């Protein structure tokens, strides 16, 4: 297999690989190997395992050195920075989705929860690849530039607070009302259900969310409700 032209991607990542096979492996999903038995590289799960540890250590060290907050706060902030939703968003910003090696089935399933996890795992694998290619400093540079740069936004909008808790606390504080959730639609077979849930303030439907469980759909509805009401900011306006 000829090595793809990674130049534009390396420029966006801010790292020129000495060993580009590491980057290729980081972008190879397990499903691709199922359809390409003659492929000579491994999939990215081992690099993801390594990158996850490197990411957590560097983010933890940064938070420890720069904030005097208690452990609980730092844990919540770290979780908001390195969760799959945040990492997938960063991945899309880096525009490396087109480079991913996926099975035909996985390649078709865009904008799904499965794709979100593939993107999040791939960015962790890229961190692992950068670490192996050029050491801790190179990985730290990447993480500071592309991931820790989102911390200010997370803190300003309190994205580290559970959406349901945030929506309830703000509704009670501003309106004196406790939100309620109602399943509006339930479809699909038992093993692949999709729930549509509405969040209400009194009798008014504020927002709708969807998910593969009622809890997931409630969280999605609360997140949408926070956006609609403009309640993501600390003062609720």
202 among known catalytic residues: no
Structure tokens at 169: 């606390």
pLDDT score for 21: 95
Pick the catalytic residue from 48, 124, 133, 134.
124
Beta strand segments in 21-172, E: none
- Per this entry, what is the length of the chain? 237
Distance linking the first and last C-alpha atoms of the chain? 54
Q: 159: closest CA among 67, 77, 215, 45?
A: 77
Report the C-alpha gap between 233 and 237 in whole angstroms: 6
Pick the catalytic residue from 10, 45, 52, 158.
52
How do the pLDDT tens digits run along the chain, 237 residues long?
Answer: 667 889 999 999 999 999 999 999 999 999 999 899 888 899 999 999 999 999 999 999 999 999 999 999 999 999 999 999 999 999 999 999 999 999 998 888 877 788 999 999 999 999 999 999 999 999 999 999 999 999 999 998 888 988 999 999 999 999 999 999 999 999 988 888 899 999 999 999 999 999 989 999 999 999 999 999 999 765 444
Angle formed at CA 38 by CA 34 and CA 104, multiple of 5 degrees: 35
The hierarchical CATH code for the domain 163-229 is: 3.30.160.20
Burial of 235 (0-12, 13-18, 19+ CB in 10 A): exposed
Intrachain domains 7-156 and 163-229 with the same fold: no
CB atoms within 10 A of CB 237: 9
Q: Burial letters for 23-55: b for 16+ Cβ neighbours within 10 Å, e otherwise?
A: bbbbbbbebbbeeeeeeebebbeebbebbbebb
pLDDT score for 1: 61
Domain 7-156 has CATH 1.10.1520.10: yes
124 among known catalytic residues: yes
Instruction: Specify the DSSP element, H or E, that contains 184.
Output: strand 180-187
CB atoms within 10 A of CB 207: 21
Map out the domains of the chain as residue ranges.
Answer: 7-156, 163-229
Report the C-alpha gap between 215 and 11 in whole angstroms: 40
What residues does 197 pair with on adjacent strands? Answer: 183, 209
């Amino acid at each position: 297999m000829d090595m793809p032209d990674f130049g534009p991607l390396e420029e966006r990542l801010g790292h020129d690989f000495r060993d580009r096979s590491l980057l290729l492996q980081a972008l190879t999903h397990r499903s691709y190997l199922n359809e390409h038995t003659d492929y000579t590289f491994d999939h990215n799960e081992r690099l993801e395992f390594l990158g996850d540890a490197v990411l957590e250590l560097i983010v933890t060290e940064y938070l420890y050195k720069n904030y005097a907050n208690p452990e609980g706060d730092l844990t919540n902030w770290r979780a908001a920075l390195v969760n799959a939703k945040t990492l997938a968003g960063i991945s899309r910003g880096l525009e490396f989705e087109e480079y991913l090696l996926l099975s035909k089935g996985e390649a078709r399933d865009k904008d799904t929860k499965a794709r979100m996890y593939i993107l999040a795992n791939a960015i962790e694998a890229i961190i692992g690849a950068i670490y192996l290619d050029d050491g801790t400093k190179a990985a730290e540079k990447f993480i500071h530039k592309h991931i820790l740069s989102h911390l200010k936004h997370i803190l300003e909008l309190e994205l580290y607070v559970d959406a349901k808790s945030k929506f309830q606390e703000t509704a009670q504080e501003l309106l004196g009302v406790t939100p309620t959730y109602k399943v509006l639609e339930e479809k699909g077979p038992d093993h692949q259900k999709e729930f549509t849930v509405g969040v209400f303030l009194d009798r008014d439907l504020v927002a709708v969310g969807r998910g593969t469980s009622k809890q997931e759909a409630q969280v999605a509805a609360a997140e949408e409700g926070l956006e609609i009401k403009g309640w993501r900011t600390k003062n609720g306006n």
